[in-house]
A and B are shown apart, each in its own frame.
Chain A
Amino acid sequence: AGFSSFGPKNRHKPTVGRPHCLRRIPSCHPTQLFIQHRSSIAEITRVKRKQITMNSFFGQKEEKPAGPDPLFAATTEMEMYTHLFNNMAAACFEKCSSRKHKEPDLALGEMSCSDRCVSKYLEAQEKVGVVLQKANEAQALQQKNLAEMQNALGGR
């Protein structure tokens, strides 16, 4: 009962500095696991740090932050990607893994499901982005027409 049944062996052995701990998760102490676990941001920043150290320039389709505060823009961008990653992981876990949790490892079907889930999620994100952009443009046009109409009426 309680913590006594936490894992088959090495229950309370300190696991800091043992990266292979993650491969045998049930035998890790929960707090060590939590400290060692790479957060979702780390998954993303693994790519980012490589980019920064390589210091390479790729022309991007995405807009460069031309605003007054580049630090805020970069922070916001990183937060956006964090949210995207968290939501994606949560959604794919909900949709792809069974509720029984009988085994600590993912089954083969679940693994391929999560691969497809990721690509579908990112595709859906692109499509939604396009729709939002069109809606924004339509709204901006509408506002412009309204302003012009008001000017014309005011001019009389």
Chain B
Amino acid sequence: MDGVQNLPPHIQGQFMQNLEQMQMKDSLTMYNNLVERCFNSCVSSFRSKSLDKYETSCVENCASRYIKMTQRVGLRFAEHQAMQQKRAADALGAGK
């Protein structure tokens, strides 16, 4: 993930702006996907117009578990990236 560091500073500002936009778009996409996923997983009967107690708790739990899992995955991913960077730095240092 080195491309960002190579940008000159005035483009880095623009990149940060793009990043904010991408972040907002991604939030919305994730929200929609989460709703679809939890709906598919939890709701199966259409006898009434509103969610019953079981479906409500299932949807809430599904959303909270997905978010927690996403956070955990993000943590591990960041660790992995850091390890990879360290390895690359060591390799560079050893190469010199």
Which residues of A does B touch, CB under 8 Å? 1-2, 5-7, 22, 25-26, 34, 37-48, 51-52, 55, 57-62, 64-65, 70-71, 73-75, 77-79, 81-82, 85-86, 88-90, 92-93, 96-97, 99-106, 110-111, 114-115, 117-119, 122
Please indicate the chain A residues that have their CB under 8 angstroms from the CB of B63 in the complex.
Answer: 25
Q: Cβ of A60 and Cβ of B27 under 8 Å apart? A: no
At the interface, is chain A mostly helix, strand, loop or mixed? helix
Alpha-carbon separation in the docked complex, A96 to B72 (Å): 13
Residue positions of B touching A, CB distance < 8 A: 1-8, 11-12, 14-15, 18-19, 22-24, 26-27, 29-31, 33, 37-38, 41-42, 48, 50-53, 56-78, 80-82, 85, 88-89, 91-92
In the complex with contacts A47-B78, A58-B85, A41-B22 CB distance below 8 A = yes
CB of A39 within 8 A of CB of B68, answer no
The answer to whether B27 touches A26 (Cβ under 8 A) is no
- Given A59-B91, A102-B61, the answer on whether A118 and B7 have CB atoms closer than 8 Å is no
Contact (Cβ within 8 A) A61 B88: yes
A/B interface sample: 6 pairs, CB < 8 A: A5-B56, A25-B67, A43-B78, A70-B6, A70-B7, A104-B60
Considering only CB atoms, which chain A residue lies closest to B87 in the complex? A61
